[in-house]
Amino acid sequence: MDRFGDWIIMLAAAGIMIWWVLRRFDRWLHEPPGSRLRKLATAGGVDQDDNVQLLQEQGYEVLSGKHRIPLGVALDDGPVMPTRLYFDYLAFKDDKYFLVKLERSRQPMEWTASGLRERLLAYALLFPECEGIVIVLAQEQQLKIVRFKVEAGVE
């Protein structure tokens, strides 16, 4: 009789696990667009500095700051190596979300199409619901907006 009881417990546990996985998948599938951004908007605080002030002067509402997106990279069949992407702020203007990156003197921005693609495309792909990526040029007191558009190619 113990073996029969063990099977019932195993089947019940497996049923609960399958139900939980299906429920999580359904919740993820029906999650409204932009919900990841709304979660990020409430995730981090904003320190008032010159960059935030410049964004606010240009009409942006800075929602949160200093975000780190963890990623894993596997080469061939090797182990997954952890890495991360950083962006400085999440901002909101005219009912649209924008990721904000600060230009740093150690890593100057290359203002060519290929340079912008190499440096910023990952952010646009991770957050397709964002309108663009705002680059803050602190020394010039200037903002630039980068948007990516997929064009139909000729084959």
Q: Are residues 41 and 94 in the same domain?
A: yes
Whether the full predicted model's pTM is greater than 0.85, yes or no, is no
Q: Are residues 16 and 66 in the same domain?
A: no
Percent of the chain with pLDDT over 90: 21
Q: Are residues 130 and 65 in the same domain?
A: yes
C-alpha triplet 129, 63, 124: angle, nearest 5°: 30
Q: How many CB atoms lie within 10 A of CB 38?
A: 14
What mean pLDDT do residues 58-64 have? 86
Q: Are residues 23 and 46 in the same domain?
A: no
Q: What is the pLDDT of residue 90?
A: 86
What gap in Å lies between CA 68 and CA 48, rounded to an integer?
19
User: How many folded domains does the chain comprise?
Assistant: 2
Does some domain include residue 109? yes
Mean pLDDT score of the chain? 83
Q: Are residues 40 and 19 in the same domain?
A: no
Q: Are residues 25 and 55 in the same domain?
A: no
Q: Are residues 68 and 133 in the same domain?
A: yes
> Using 50, 70 and 90 to split pLDDT, how confident is the model at 44?
low
Domain that holds residue 1: 1-30
Does some domain include residue 65? yes
Q: Are residues 18 and 43 in the same domain?
A: no
